[in-house]
Amino acid sequence: MAWGWPLPPGALWVVLPWALPAPICCRPALPAAGRCRSGTVDDGSFSRSSSTSLTDLIFDARYLRPGTCIQYPASNILYTYLGTGRKFCTLCVRCTVNGFLGRIERISAPLVMVSHRSRLTHRVFRFGTRHGILGRRQPKGEYKMAIYLDSASVEDARRAAELGFVAGITTNPKLIARTGRAAEEIIPELCDVLGEGLVFYQLTAPTVEEREREAHRFAALRPGHVGLKIPCTTENLALLLRLAEDGLTCAATAVFSVHQALLACEAGADCIIPYVNRATRLLGDGLALVAEIAAVVEVTGGTSEVLAASFRSVSEVVGAVLAGADHVTVPLNLLLALGDHPLSEQAIAEFAQAGR
């Protein structure tokens, strides 16, 4: 991908955050955001950077509502703001208290992402019709997010399999230890319960040579149904590269930085697994990490997919998807909680009462 100038005619570019001075905030907007009327609208919520002529697509989120139609100044292109489902800061859609992502959809045209933190960058790249939320690399309509069960319990796996919408299972040494059984027994049984899909096993052997033998041994337990989680270190990524060349499904796990994700992409990882809640606790913002990893996969043209893990709430799960995670893996309690809401239960009770 070429960087910098000149821009191709008619190309739509989005500025990514990292290098320029902060943009000048927009002028005060109307209290209520405008709606599309006669094909144009200007609700006054645009912001331009004084240091670049690139189209920032920075908006004052105080005055935007989901569904609002937006027209960039001096442009005939309309966009629809879809919102993030989270509280905004006072600067723009891209930035919230923890740097969360907003989303904008160009009407009858490619999806684009707004981006902003306290600074902007000269680095730009184009979003075409193949891109929606940052990091999704499949054509709109063909993309399918997958939900994985994060558990080594056969009982949990059986319950999740009964639900019918779980695509796979992820395990780790702690989860397997809780079962009190050997991994060689647990992994094949989980594969049998799941039927279709992958069961991920995390390598634990002390040396690279032993981990390589361990990888082939577990992959042979259920060929085509066992994925390998490999903790992200430089030597482990070199191992991942060899295993990927052998045709094994490999995920780089325990990824806590963008530079780790960059090398994992180059190594050919099928999945990159960031720990959302743990990153929030230790680094301050797990959702921003997901967004940045998704961005680096996009920029490099990598084929790796972001499988977000380590959740403590349903809001974190939804936040990770909106931040660009291709897939999520959740424990059974969160999997069940995703489909429930107290108001739904209340409505069901009211309908049942009315039907008597």
Cβ pair 87, 275 in contact under 8 A: no
Is residue 229 among the annotated active site residues?
A: yes
Concatenated DSSP letters of 59-116: E-GGG--TT-EEE-TT---EEEE---SS-B-SS-SS-BTT-----EEETTS-EE----
Please list, residue by residue across 162-187, b when 16 or more beta carbons sit within 10 angstroms of its beta carbon and e when fewer do.
eeeebbbbbbbeebbeebeeebeebb
For CA atoms 262, 263, 267, 269, give the dihedral sign.
Answer: negative
Please state, in angstroms and rounded to a whole number, the distance separating the CA atoms of residues 44 and 59: 9
SS3 281: helix
Q: Is 314 buried (19+), middle (13-18) or exposed (0-12) by CB count in 10 A?
A: middle
- Supply angle C-alpha 252, 255, 257, rounded to 5: 135
Cβ pair 270, 227 in contact under 8 A: yes
Phi, psi dihedral angles at 157 (to 5 degrees): -65, -40
Please state, in angstroms and rounded to a whole number, the distance separating the CA atoms of residues 338 and 149: 13
CA nearest neighbour of 90 among 116, 121, 72, 52: 116
Task: List the catalytic residue out of 87, 144, 174, 229.
Answer: 229
Q: Which amino acid is at 292?
A: E
For CA atoms 153, 155, 156, 157, give the dihedral sign.
Answer: positive
Phi, psi dihedral angles at 189 (to 5 degrees): -65, -40
Q: What positions carry a catalytic annotation?
A: 229
